[in-house]
Chain A
Amino acid sequence: MDNMKLAKEKVGDFLAKLGKERFRVPQETGGSSRFAPLNGESSVDFTLSNTTVPLKSLFYPQTETLYRYEVGETAMKAPGEADEMIIMGVRPCDAKALTIVDRLFSWDPKDPYYLERREKATIIGLACQEPRLNCFCTSLGGGPASTEGLDILMTDLGESFLFQPLTEKGEKICQEAGDVLVKSEDSDVQAAEKVHKDAASKIVRKIDSEGIPEKLPQLWDSQIWKKTSEPCLGCGACTFLCPTCHCFDIQDEIEGLEGRRYRVWDSCMFKEYTLHTSGHNPRPTRRERTRNRINHKYSYFVDKFGVIACVGCGRCINLCPVNVDILNILSQVKEAL
């Protein structure tokens, strides 16, 4: 399908034509941002930098009911069907992160909750123009205009957005939009390529991951883990807000006569995460927990699923209250290898 173009003054028409209720867009509330349904307004602020809460929260919500039951009964009722979603303005690193999490949730047995939402979602990406200080996507096979996990790549050309459909889902959206979109010119594509290139050149932080997955576990007893985990408060922000972290807890909750079993994000940085009922804890201190976090992302996940579970979005660096910096840890790892 041809590349298309959406004039900025027609964004409202685009949303209306496809049905506003289907859209999820970046929204800022109370100092943090996340993807959320359009709140009545027909305008979207596409100038926001990557959302604080990653895209994963739309597919794998922080708290999610697995099934409900009545107290004293044994019948279990799974929640209804997932909504169809068009997610617009997704940064390429977050879309790439989904393709990583997909591998885990598609691993036998499949996770029906996550996969149903994935199947029903169309993702319209927005190429980054102003990478942030701690972005390092280019070190991990991504980039400001990476298309992995996207159905359409959108690039800001000033007066309009270039729409490059990448999948059947993406083409369908372009067709549905009808004459709200117009065909793009070759010059638009050239302009977009320049935007992409300029953005990539603004990424300053880097890591050469070569050799890390194979050799990382050999640094088991290295001083790195004690040193780099010392400032850690164990708040879990690095994992909750990581677009590839997927660990969860399962709990029961009763309210009145109704009960539910739900899953809720959990973090390997918490002591309780691995605590046995006996009181024994195989990862008793922040040292072991930090070691596991880095090993899981950069070695164990590669071992199981063939890809590093990090996209270089920089959230764990930006949001850590005590400046624990994964690139700093990785460069110490590189030195020690």
Chain B
Amino acid sequence: MKENPYQPYVATIEDTWYETVGDRAVKTFKVTLDDPEARKNWSHRPGQCAMVGRLGIGESMFCISCSPTEGDFLRFSVMRAGKNTQGLHEQEVGDKITVRGPYGNSFPLEDWKGKHILTIGGGIGQAPLRPIVEYVKANLDQYAGLTMIYGARTSGDLCFRNEFEEMMKRDDISCHLTIDIEEEGWPYKVGFVPSVLMEVNPSPENTIAITCGPPIMIRFVLENLKKLNFADEQIYTTLENRMKCGFGKCGRCNAGNLYVCKDGPVFSYSTLKNVPEAFA
């Protein structure tokens, strides 16, 4: 079989670390594809996904949490939640995993050049936003600016904290970290992400807002963006649904007439507001 989209590439874990700990710990994997030809041919764009797994256990869909501007590798940030993610969490540097993809559309970052980019993330929902942040950071002169709002339940649930703290030192990027409940020694904001959004009060002028996080957070962020006079076309999100194939065959990831794997995962709110199942 020459072209077999079901057959994954083998990849080696170059580096891995925990972003958060606990029952639902998030572990990040930095991997490279073993086959030099595959590595050469691989290209992904911010927002795209890949099927990641282990032979004998299974595979699940994850967003690629790095931007191609970062180098010739892939990153996945995986929350331990079920059988496959548990299997992945057991992997260490040098271990082999399987990767196939990239799947889906991507954030139209080329079209957004000249605009101010605002990301609003919650919890593990920052993973698909991270490639945007990295891409814009690498091309900052081509964008009008970069603002990030990121929150989690507790400080222990924040992913990529070191990266955020590095960015907070810069004066050309605006970065706001928040946690839901006050903690001793926490130096940043306290409050839910949608409230912090109102507090930051970004102007909709020449701005694109991209949000991802728990469904309840997305709902209130959308409401608040509307209050801030963002037009539907200025608001983007990325959806997730259970997937098996990743390329429109296995059937299950649809939200209304849209396949999240092929038509998405990136959608503008102007599209999604007409899809009744989009936020189900």
Contacts and interface: CB of A to CB of B under 8 A. Distances in A.
B81 A282 contact: no
Interface in B244-260: 244-245, 247-252, 254-257
A246 interface: yes
Contact of B254 (A111, A249, A251, A296): A296
A104 B59 contact: no
B36 interface: no
Contacts of A110: 3, 5
Nearest to A66: B6
3 tightest Cβ-Cβ pairs between the two chains A and B? A247-B251, A277-B82, A282-B280
28 contacts: A67-B7, A74-B34, A74-B55, A78-B4, A107-B249, A109-B3, A110-B5, A112-B4, A112-B5, A217-B256, A217-B257, A247-B250, A247-B252, A248-B249, A248-B251, A250-B6, A250-B250, A252-B58, A259-B55, A259-B56, A263-B244, A276-B241, A276-B242, A282-B241, A295-B256, A295-B257, A299-B257, A304-B257
Interface centre among B247, B255, B257 (most CB of A within 10 A): B257
A277 B215 CA distance: 15
Contacts, number: 115
A6 to B, nearest CB: 36
Interface stretch (A139-147, A163-171, A266-274): A266-274
A300 interface: yes
Nearest to B96: A74
Task: Name the residue among A110, A113, A249, A282 with the largest chain B CB count within 10 angstroms.
Answer: A282
B245 A250 contact: yes
A254 interface: yes
A251 B85 contact: no
A66 B55 contact: no
Given A111-B5, A276-B241, 18 more contacts: A66-B6, A67-B7, A74-B10, A76-B7, A76-B8, A104-B249, A112-B5, A113-B6, A246-B249, A247-B252, A248-B249, A249-B244, A250-B6, A250-B58, A250-B250, A259-B56, A277-B85, A304-B257
Interface in B15-30: none
Secondary structure at the B interface, as helix, strand, loop or mixed, is loop
B172 interface: no
Contact of B248 (A107, A112, A268, A299): A107
Interface string A63-106: 00011010101101010000000000000000000000000110
Contacts of A108: 247
A215 interface: no
A304 B244 CA distance: 19
B276 interface: yes
Contact of A250 (B96, B241, B244): B244
Given A67-B6, A259-B55, A261-B55, A268 B252 contact: yes
Contacts of A246: 249, 251
B270 to A, nearest CB: 17
Contacts of B58: 250-252
A259 B5 CA distance: 19
B55 A69 contact: yes
B96 to A, nearest CB: 5
A227 interface: no
B280 A283 contact: yes
A154 B55 CA distance: 47
Interface string B95-128: 0101000000000000000000000000000000
Contacts of B242: 273-276
Contact of B59 (A107, A250, A277, A296): A250
A299 B258 CA distance: 11
Contacts of A296: 251, 254
B277 interface: yes
A254 to B, nearest CB: 5
Interface string A275-296: 1111010110000100010011
Given A268-B252, A276-B242, A300-B254, A252 B82 contact: no
A276 B260 CA distance: 14
B59 A220 contact: no
- Residue of B6, B58, B85, B276 most packed against chain A (CB within 10 A): B6
A41 B242 CA distance: 46
A303 interface: yes
B198 interface: no
B57 interface: yes
B250 A266 contact: yes
A66 B7 contact: yes
A248 B244 contact: yes
Interface string B54-93: 0111111000000000000000000001100100000000
Contacts of B59: 250
Contacts of A220: 276
Contacts of A280: 215
Nearest to B85: A277
A284 to B, nearest CB: 9
A217 B274 CA distance: 10
B29 to A, nearest CB: 16
A303 B245 contact: no
Nearest to B6: A66
B11 to A, nearest CB: 10
B80 to A, nearest CB: 10
A80 B224 CA distance: 56
Nearest to B11: A74
Contacts of B55: 69, 73-74, 76, 252, 259, 261
